Amino acid sequence: MIALSPTMQDGVIAEWIAEEGQAVKPGDALCEVETDKATMPYESPVSGTVLKIVKAAGQTAAVGEIIAVLGKPGEDWAAVIAGATPVAERPAAGPSAGVTSTEASFPALGPIEPTVAAPAAPPLSAPPAAPRASTASAPSSPAGASPSSPAGIPPSSPLARRLARDGSVDLRTLRGSGPHGRVVARDIMAAAGKDTVNADAPKSAAPGGASIGMASRGLRDERVPLSRMRSIIAKRLGDSYSEAPHFFVRAAIDMERLLELRAAVNEGRDKPIGLNAFVMKLTAAALERHPLVNASWEGDAIRYRPAADIGLAVSLDAGLITPVVRACERKGVEDIDAELADMVARARSGALKPEEYADASFTVSNLGQYGVEEFTAIINPPGSAILTLGAVSKEAVVRGDAIVARRTMRVTLSSDHRVIDGAVAAAFVAELKALLEEPALALV
């Protein structure tokens, strides 16, 4: 098992696609592995026969463990394992890089590349995302987008979705036999009356695991095992909240000028630029002026970051992910918005690369589309601060001697007190408030 993300320590075999005794060739899907962020297909790097499945579906394999053995028909799989050296790191490019075996052409399956990360693979078209199950636990928040697939579509594996499209099978008519009701390849084959899987069909990445659509479930007494992503989210946020002394600074922002600017920029555009892009751009400007906030705690040192690498919390079927727009201070709102749209779509299809959601220096979380006025969030390491955005709504505001209605948004900055002092956080929020209320100040 290789590490499919920077923080991955192990993964769960979600489903075996290949069977023992089955002949495979390079690119054939062998199994699907549920990591901390997505369920990804493992593809065979070589031609051979599946001699032994070492880790069964549902079992956890640590990074570096062997999950299966490929070899020649009749070859002693135990001898292959005995002579293999598990690899814990991603191999270099090439079909046999990092692969160990008694014969180089038939490796033990530790270092098989996932589809979405294979350096030589062509870009894959993402299947429609499964319906979203929004989570309320901070710092999770959707990026302001609605679910990209119709309601009623059950969670499904990448191969199942591909087979369903190829065979014109309606996923909404199926009851999944996989973990947590997940539709897997055998369900599609049964519905289509097929006995075999087309292993040559292109493979697509899938969302991070089974989702629980609480709005449609109704009240019931049920114990649902944690998905891999939910387990990781629980651990990381628990660690963050227990290790980092959080404190919070709040402000109410007059959004009239920024919303007028956004309307002017979007005039005549087929695809309007989202509010998140404007907020991230102006946040980057504030971080440039207050670099002490753009920092990371590293135990015996504080690392001050050279660029505003801002993450945006996005909800997935199984939890949340934080795509990162690098160096926002050097990009325009159009570029930021385009990157966000691309990464959010790929995040929801499971095709986001690990380096695209890691190492944010600052995070933004927006629950405003749900009508939430304000909320606090847990810091997303390695950053030391996270900014939450509430809904924009009209409020009565005193202007001179008059009371007027102004579109207002409430924000909260959660900070790590080990890195950021109260006065530093307050000065940053004051700067951000000034920039959001008068965007032209970012030009000064």
Indicate which CATH number applies to the domain containing 351: 3.30.559.10
Q: Is 184 among the domain residues?
A: no
Q: How far apart are CA 46 and CA 66, in angstroms?
A: 16
Domain boundary residue among 55, 89, 122? Answer: 122
Residue 116 has pLDDT above 80, yes or no: no
* Higher pLDDT pick, 33 / 329: 329
In 10 A of CB 25, how many CB atoms? Answer: 12
Q: Are strands 362-366 and 310-312 parallel, antiparallel or unpaired?
A: parallel
Co-location of 117 and 255 in the same domain: no
Q: Is 252 among the domain residues?
A: yes
Q: Integer distance in angstroms from the first to the last C-alpha of the chain?
A: 52
Residue 118 has pLDDT above 50, yes or no: no
Q: Is 202 among the domain residues?
A: no
Residue 192 has pLDDT above 60, yes or no: yes
**Residue 180 known to be catalytic:** no
Domain boundary residue among 122, 153, 178? Answer: 122
Q: Is 154 among the domain residues?
A: no
Residue type, position 322, single letter = T
Q: How far apart are CA 154 and CA 179, in angstroms?
A: 12
| Per-residue pLDDT reduced to its tens digit, 305-322 | 999 999 999 998 778 999
Q: How far apart are CA 378 and CA 398, in angstroms?
A: 33
Q: How many residues does the chain have?
A: 444
Q: Is 61 among the domain residues?
A: yes
Exactly one of 180, 246, 290, 417 is catalytic; name it. Answer: 417
CA atoms within 13 A on the CB side of 192: 23
| Per-residue pLDDT reduced to its tens digit, 53-105 | 998 888 888 888 888 988 888 888 888 788 776 554 444 434 333 333 333 33
Q: Is 421 among the domain residues?
A: yes
Give the burial string for 76-95 (b: 16+ CB within 10 Å, else e): ebeebbeebebbeebbeeeb
State residue 416's pLDDT score. Answer: 98
Domain containing 284 equals 231-443
Q: Which of 181-185, 224-228, 297-301, 402-406 has the lowest mean pLDDT?
A: 181-185
Q: How far apart are CA 35 and CA 9, in angstroms?
A: 9
Q: How far apart are CA 59 and CA 1, in angstroms?
A: 12
Residue type, position 113, single letter = E
Q: How far apart are CA 361 and CA 312, in angstroms?
A: 11
- Domain count of the fold of the chain: 2
Q: Is 211 among the domain residues?
A: no
State residue 439's pLDDT score. Answer: 97
Stated pTM of the model: 0.62
